């Protein structure tokens, strides 16, 4: 026996749409939601890339700063050494020279700076008023003086015991500039006075070194990100592959394939999960099969008992009819007993018929006999057949049919049974108030609503109104001999047509049942032509019924809807 399936299926939908680049955002979003592996890889890649970027930027800045500081210290030390050598040359030369030789001090200073300094350009300027006996200013580059800022020269003049440096851009032969440092300090020419000494140092090698270091850092960082992503992918694959198998297997199990099982490999936690899942699936399969067998036994029991009871019930029915026909010849007590016996036998026969119908639904052996039928004409016939019952309950039943005249393929016997059941319940529980039967249609479906203004039901009662043998108020007796299976059978008939039967009810406002059937034998896709919630119509429609004149419903399907709606649409 095949395992029963539920109405809800769980499947893993494959992703599509990668060939169209415009669908990529949606496909990536769907992949992010559905794939644990993709989501984990992306999170790992993002966090690793962020960490590597932060580390590389911090290291690049640290290396850049350290490289500049070390180069600056080297330049200052070189400038200090060159200045000391120059000062020593000046001291030893001027102490033994006359005025004419003092004029040649600039040549000695130039030679000393060229030999002792790694500077590419230098300059010497006298501090104070010019003098004919003092050495003249000189520079190694005619444009060097333009690089000296006023602030730098003022600092050098104001400090005779320390170095002053400044970062500048040094021009090159091709017109470009390179980073550099100018170091300034004072020199003293004995017998003459102080001089400004400026040395320029080219730092062009520092950016090249820094660029090489930074490029190496970024290459290593990108390689590290790719390496970590690859490792994460391989590790996650070993974990997510069993999880994906478990997801597929659980989806198949939820869809009713009770024989599927998880492959178990190894002795780790995933293997334990697989064995536990398989044990659970075995238990579920066993219990479902037991329940299915028990349900089948119950269905067969109800069907067999119902069939077996029909033969003696037929005999009892014949005997009860004969006795009931002769009840006028009996005494009053015996006549009443004969009448009660006949009524209960009829009710017993109706109950057996309903039980047989329920057993056919449970066994899935119900077949529709479709015929083109007008739902409005069918409703009119049912109302006419139940006119006597409505008069017994002092109930006014009116038909409002703005649509639903064109024939629709349906099983008229079953739909008529639905309408009779709904109308009978409305008459019984309508408290003698008017009942409105509405028929309407659209391009996709036809619908019929039965609205009463009785006591209504509580929300918890509405949820159980289609249960078998359920009664909203067990203390109330059925006046028309219902079996408690009518609404359950009506719901089955509606679903068999591909339609639906819905109910709305509120205490003190009455109840509204709406039957909706598709036109083309397909499943319903849109709303019903008749709203389930009637809104606040507790007074107005009832008063309007008293003002509506009866209108015969035409039997032809052409142009009748216009005539009906033109006169209020009520019959």
The pLDDT tens digits for 394-449 are: 889 999 999 888 898 888 888 998 999 899 888 888 888 899 999 998 888 999 99
pTM of the complete model: 0.46
257-267 mean pLDDT: 82
Q: Choose between 19 and 164: higher pLDDT.
A: 164
pLDDT band at 450 (very low <50, low <70, confident <90, very high): very high
- Give dist(CA 69, CA 12) in Å, integer: 61
Q: Which residues contact 483 (CB under 8 A, 6 or more apart)?
A: 347, 350, 351, 354
Predicted local confidence at residue 483, as pLDDT = 60
Q: How far is the first Cα of the chain from the last one, in angstroms, to the nearest whole number? A: 52
> Domains (ranges, CATH) in the chain?
98-207 (3.30.450), 269-362 (1.10.287.130), 367-566 (3.30.565.10)
The pLDDT tens digits for 473-510 are: 554 545 555 566 778 888 888 888 888 999 998 888 88
pLDDT of residue 174 exceeding 60 = yes
Q: Choose between 162 and 451: higher pLDDT.
A: 451
Alpha helices in 326-386 (DSSP H): 332-363, 375-385
- Give dist(CA 189, CA 472) in Å, integer: 121
Q: Choose between 534 and 570: higher pLDDT.
A: 534
72-83 mean pLDDT: 85
Q: Choose between 11 and 385: higher pLDDT.
A: 385
Residue with tokens 């015996």: 334
DSSP string computed for 142-198? TTGGGG--HHHHHHHHH-SSS-EEEEEEEE-TTS-EEEEEEEEEEEEETTTEEEEEE
**CA 124-128-130 angle, 5° bins:** 80
The least confident of 146-150, 461-465, 482-486 is 482-486
Residue with tokens 């059978």: 489
Q: Is 399 helix (H, G, I), strand (E, B) or coil?
A: strand
Residue 208, CA distances (Å) to 118, 215, 218, 329 in order: 19, 10, 15, 129
The least confident of 12-21, 46-55, 237-246, 507-516 is 12-21
- Give dist(CA 421, CA 486) in Å, integer: 6
Predicted local confidence at residue 202, as pLDDT = 79
Contact 440, 404 (CB under 8 A): yes
Please write down the long-range contacts of 353-360, taking CB distance under 8 Å and 24 or more positions apart.
354/483, 354/485, 354/486, 354/489, 355/302, 355/306, 355/485, 356/303, 356/306, 356/307, 357/485, 357/489, 358/302, 358/468, 358/485, 358/488, 358/489, 358/492, 359/299, 359/302, 359/303, 359/306
Per cent of the chain over pLDDT 70 is 80
Range among 122-131, 291-300, 356-365 with highest mean pLDDT value: 122-131
């Amino acid at each position: 026996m095949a395992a029963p399936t539920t109405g809800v299926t769980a499947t893993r939908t494959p992703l599509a749409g990668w060939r169209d680049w415009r669908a990529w955002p949606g496909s990536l979003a769907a992949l992010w939601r559905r794939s644990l592996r993709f989501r984990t890889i992306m999170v790992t890649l993002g966090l690793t890339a962020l960490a590597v970027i932060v580390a590389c930027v911090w290291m690049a800045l640290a290396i850049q700063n350290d490289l500049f500081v070390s180069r600056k210290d080297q330049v200052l030390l070189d400038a200090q050494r060159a200045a000391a050598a120059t000062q020593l040359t000046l001291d030893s030369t001027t102490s033994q020279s006359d005025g004419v030789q003092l004029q040649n001090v600039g040549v000695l200073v130039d030679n000393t700076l060229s030999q002792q300094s790694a500077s590419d350009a230098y300059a010497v300027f006298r501090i104070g008023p010019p003098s004919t006996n003092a050495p003249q200013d000189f520079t190694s580059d005619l444009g060097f003086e333009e690089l000296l800022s006023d602030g730098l020269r003022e600092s050098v003049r104001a400090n005779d015991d320390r170095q002053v440096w400044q970062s500048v851009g040094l021009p090159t032969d091709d017109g470009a500039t390179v980073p550099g440092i100018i170091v300034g300090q004072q020199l003293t020419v004995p017998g003459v006075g102080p001089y400004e000494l400026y040395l320029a140092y080219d730092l062009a090698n520092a950016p090249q070194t820094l660029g090489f270091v930074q490029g190496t850092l970024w290459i290593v960082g990108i390689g590290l990100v790719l390496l970590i992503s690859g490792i994460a992918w391989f590790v996650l694959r070993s974990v997510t592959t069993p999880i994906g198998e478990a997801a597929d297997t659980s989806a198949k199990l939820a869809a009713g394939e009770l024989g599927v099982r998880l492959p178990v490999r190894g002795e780790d936690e995933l293997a334990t999960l697989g064995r536990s899942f398989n044990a659970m699936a075995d238990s579920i399969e066993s219990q479902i099969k037991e329940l299915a067998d028990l349900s089948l036994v119950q269905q067969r029991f109800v069907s067999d008992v119902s069939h077996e009871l029909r033969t003696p019930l037929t005999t009892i029915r014949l005997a009860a009819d004969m006795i009931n026909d002769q009840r006028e010849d009996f005494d009053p007590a015996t006549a009443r007993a004969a009448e009660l016996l006949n009524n209960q036998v009829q009710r017993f026969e109706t109950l057996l018929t309903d039980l047989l119908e329920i057993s056919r639904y449970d066994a899935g052996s119900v077949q529709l006999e479709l015929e083109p039928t007008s739902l409005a004409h069918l409703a009119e016939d049912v109302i006419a057949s139940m006119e006597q019952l409505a008069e017994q309950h002092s109930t006014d039943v009116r038909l409002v049919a703005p649509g639903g005249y064109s024939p629709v393929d349906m099983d008229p016997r079953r739909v008529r049974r639905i309408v009779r059941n709904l109308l009978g319940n409305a008459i019984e529980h309508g408290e003698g108030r008017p009942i409105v039967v509405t028929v309407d249609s659209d391009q996709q479906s036809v619908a019929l609503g039965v609205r009463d203004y009785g006591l209504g039901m509580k929300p918890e009662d509405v949820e159980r109104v289609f249960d078998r043998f359920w009664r909203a108020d067990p203390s109330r007796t059925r006046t028309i001999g219902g079996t408690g299976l009518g609404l359950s059978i009506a719901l089955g008939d509606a679903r068999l047509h591909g339609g639906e039967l819905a109910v709305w009810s509120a205490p003190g406002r009455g109840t509204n049942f709406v039957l909706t059937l598709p036109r083309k034998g397909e499943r319903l896709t849109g709303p019903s032509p008749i709203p389930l919630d009637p809104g606040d119509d507790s007074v107005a429609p009832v008063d309007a019924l008293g003002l509506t004149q009866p209108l015969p419903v035409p039997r032809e399907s052409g142009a009748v809807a216009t005539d009906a709606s033109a006169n209020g649409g009520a019959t």
